[in-house]
Amino acid sequence: MGGAAQANAAEPTPAELLRSGAQQGVADGYPGVIGMVRKGDGAQYVQAGVGDVATNVPADPKAQFRIGSNTKVFTSAVLLQLEGEGRLSLDDTVARWLPGAVGANGYDGGTITIRQLLNHTSGLPEYAGAAQVAGPYLLNTDPKRAWAPQTLVDIALAQRAPNSAPGEKFGYSNTNYVLAGMVIKAVTGDDAATEIRRRFIEPLGLRDTTFPTTDPALHGNHLHGYVRPVTFLTRDVTVSEVQIFGSAGAMVSTMEDLATFFRALMTGKLLPPAQMAELKTTVPANADGTVGYGLGVQRIKLPCGKWSWGHNGAVLGYFSEWLSSEDGDEQVLHANNEFHLLGGTKGQRDTNKAAVDAFCAL
């Protein structure tokens, strides 16, 4: 018994697992990595590396960062609330609210529903990889450049003709959530940023969460963001375009604020029961059935056998990820301050594994 107790005592805690992964992420080349483990009312923060290469100030786990595609769950939640209020149906077509917005190169907004936008089964192509978008964005040549949502949709539609019918299969595309933001504006008269602030940021007291729509800078306590691709020297891209992702990925937040929002969402505080069921109704997002995509959230079967809800976010200079139990009681979040538009890097794999291991250990 004593030997078993000693062995158990030596096992690393969830926070220690996450901290080790943060340290490995810095060894892999990230300037800084921050993280948070939360169970019930108790939270532990971890950090490694720096939040500002120029000053070598340590990465602050309570600092703001760009959350990228984690914005999508906020956008989805607005539309789910609007449905709960009887102001729209997720089965409305895109053309019902945005006539003419999707009507080129074989695409028809009259055959695509809002639900299919939110679960990425619309069949719409991605705009972010187009040369006229990806090149200037990576080089960060004009951080104040304005991108009208319809312009981004038009760029997407021009990329290719449809290769699947709406509702046929999962295909992740930021175009879906740009259109989702446009639907919010059509229904409410306000942009997604205004609705998200009114419905979630203010009621939940998310003091360090913002949805910038024109200002490309970060303010207050924040991580500096960097790109460190093979062909370039490290560049500070903290000031970068926000309209290029908008309702698909423009928000700024912190570990604590995100954990608060995700817990409120997962516990049903923000949505009526019918809309909670819709949020969590998934479509297959990979071949082996271990990942399903709901409405702005993923359900993931982890190697340890546990299931989690979550998502990740990747925009110029920042990569983040969250995992949550069904009841929102167990949460793991982490972020780093380097992203150069490539997925599957060693740093991403190592920090993701640490987050998964920490969640499995809760």
Q: Which residues are catalytic?
A: 69
Radius of gyration of the chain (CA): 20
Which residues lie closer than 8 Å to 349 by C-beta, 6 or more apart? none
**Per-residue tokens: 204:** 């939940």
Quickly list H helices, the chain.
2-10, 14-28, 71-84, 94-97, 114-118, 131-139, 149-157, 174-188, 192-196, 255-266, 273-279, 346-361
> Angle at the Cα of 294 (from 288 to 299), degrees rounded to 5?
50
Residue of 123, 126, 170 lying closest to 299 (CA atoms) = 170
Contact between 229 and 316 under an 8 Å Cβ cutoff? The reply is no
- Give CA angle at 78 (73, 80), nearest 5°: 90
Decide: 311 and 249 in contact? Cβ < 8 Å. Answer: no
Are the C-beta atoms of residues 122 and 98 closer than 8 Å to each other? no
What is the DSSP code string of 302-357? Answer: -TTS-EEEEEEEEETTEEEEEEE-TTSSEEEEEEESB--S--S-HHHHHHHHHHHH
Rounded Cα gap, residues 116 and 92, in angstroms: 10
Phi/psi for 49 (5° steps) reads 80, -160
Report DSSP state, residue 64.
B
Q: Give the 3-state DSSP-derived string for 246-296, with helices as H, strands as E and coil as C.
A: HHHCCCEECHHHHHHHHHHHHCCCCCCHHHHHHHCCCEECCCCCCEEECCC
